[in-house]
């Protein structure tokens, strides 16, 4: 990358399309910082649940957001997510949080707050951000925008494997139904729905390995320098 030294790379797509692993490896290869924005929504959802804050209580919600800090830490086994300095990496990936994060991430107060955090984190560049609205809302001028897609059954199989590795055994049919419901919810919501930015490169990962996905994106990123 000769001219775009500290690029902003946006990777968006539905749940289970391989965003997290791909973003982590692309960031590693290009020596950039990986930011998992979905984990931020999950951490906020977890804190609301713990503190019994309802989505209808705007005042409490704003108070909670103002006193919350979500940070990330690189570790040998991947990105660790810290909520107010406590490691919640595993706690935010339970089926309960996966359900609850839907309505939480739709709330305009939550979105406004988290988009601000994400812009602050990414504005200096040198980042790979993954999420649903990075290329459309958070960084519409990102240097490279990728939209990952994959067949829902293949995504369910991948998600189940990840969950099994964390000791959660959920039948694949249930995982698939939950993913399809989240796709629907994420793409039809009023604020920042999941959609491909007009200038994003679509990568269908149904028949690709993680290695293929990473190589394809790294190749596109390396071309940025010669633009």
DSSP-derived 3-state class of residue 168: coil
Q: Is 103 in the site for ligand DC (CB under 6 A)?
A: no
176 binds ligand DC (CB under 6 A): no
Give the Cα-Cα-Cα angle 126, 12, 55 (nearest 5 degrees). Answer: 105
* C-alpha dihedral sign at 63, 96, 103, 22: positive
Output 32 or 97, the one with its CB closest to ligand DC. Answer: 97
| Residue 175 Cβ vs ligand DC, minimum distance, rounded to whole Å | 12
Tell which one of 33, 38, 49, 109 touches ligand DC (CB under 6 A).
38
Q: Does residue 175 bind ligand DC (CB under 6 A)?
A: no
| Alpha helices in the chain, H assignment, sequence order | 19-30, 37-51, 58-66, 95-106, 108-122, 152-165, 172-188, 210-224
When asked if residue 159 is in the footprint of ligand DC (CB under 6 A), the reply is: no
What lies within 8 Å, CB to CB, of 80 at 6+ separation is: 72, 73, 74, 87, 89
Taking CB under 6 A as the binding criterion, the range among 71-79, 97-105, 141-149, 151-159 that sits at the site for ligand DC is: 97-105
- Interacting residue with ligand DC among 23, 101, 146, 175 (CB under 6 A): 101
Q: Pick from 107, 113, 158, 182: which binds ligand DC (CB under 6 A)?
A: 182
C-alpha span between 153 and 204 (Å, rounded): 14
Residue 37 binds to ligand DC (criterion: CB under 6 A): yes
Which of 1, 163 has the CB closer to ligand DC? 163
* Residue 192 dihedral angles phi and psi, to the nearest 5°: 45, 55
The answer to whether 15 contacts ligand DC (rule: CB under 6 A) is yes
* Burial group, residue 104, by CB count within 10 angstroms (0-12, 13-18, 19+): buried
**CA–CA separation, 137 and 39 (whole Å):** 17
| Number of residues counted as binding ligand DC (CB under 6 A) | 15
CA distance 107 to 5: 35
Selected range binding ligand DC among 37-45, 64-72, 146-154, 213-221, rule: CB under 6 A = 37-45
17 touches ligand DC by CB under 6 A: no
- Per-residue binding string, ligand DC, 131-150, x by CB under 6 A, is xxxx----------------
Alpha-carbon Rg for the chain, nearest whole angstrom, is 17
Q: Interface residues with ligand DC (CB under 6 A)?
A: 15, 37-39, 41-42, 101-102, 105, 131-134, 182, 186
């Amino acid at each position: 990358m000769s001219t775009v030294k500290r690029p902003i790379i946006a990777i968006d797509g539905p749940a289970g399309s391989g965003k997290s692993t791909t973003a982590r490896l692309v960031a590693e290869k290009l020596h950039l910082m990986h930011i998992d924005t979905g984990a931020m929504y999950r951490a906020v959802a977890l804190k609301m649940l713990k503190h019994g804050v309802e989505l209808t209580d705007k005042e409490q919600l704003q108070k909670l957001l103002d006193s919350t800090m979500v940070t990330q830490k690189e570790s040998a086994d991947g990105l660790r997510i810290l909520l107010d300095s406590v490691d919640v990496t595993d706690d935010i990936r339970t089926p309960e949080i996966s359900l609850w994060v839907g309505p939480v991430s739709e709330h305009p107060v939550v979105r406004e707050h988290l988009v601000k955090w994400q812009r602050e984190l990414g504005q200096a560049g040198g980042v790979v951000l993954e999420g649903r609205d990075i290329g459309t809302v958070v960084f519409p001028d990102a240097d490279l925008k990728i939209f990952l897609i994959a067949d829902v059954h293949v995504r369910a199989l991948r998600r189940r494997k990840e969950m099994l590795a964390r000791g959660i055994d959920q039948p694949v049919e249930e995982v698939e139904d939950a993913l399809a419901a989240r796709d629907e919810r994420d793409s039809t919501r009023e604020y920042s729905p999941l959609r491909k930015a007009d200038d994003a490169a679509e990568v269908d990962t149904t028949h690709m390995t993680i290695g293929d996905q990473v190589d394809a994106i790294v190749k596109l990123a390396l071309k940025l320098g010669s633009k």
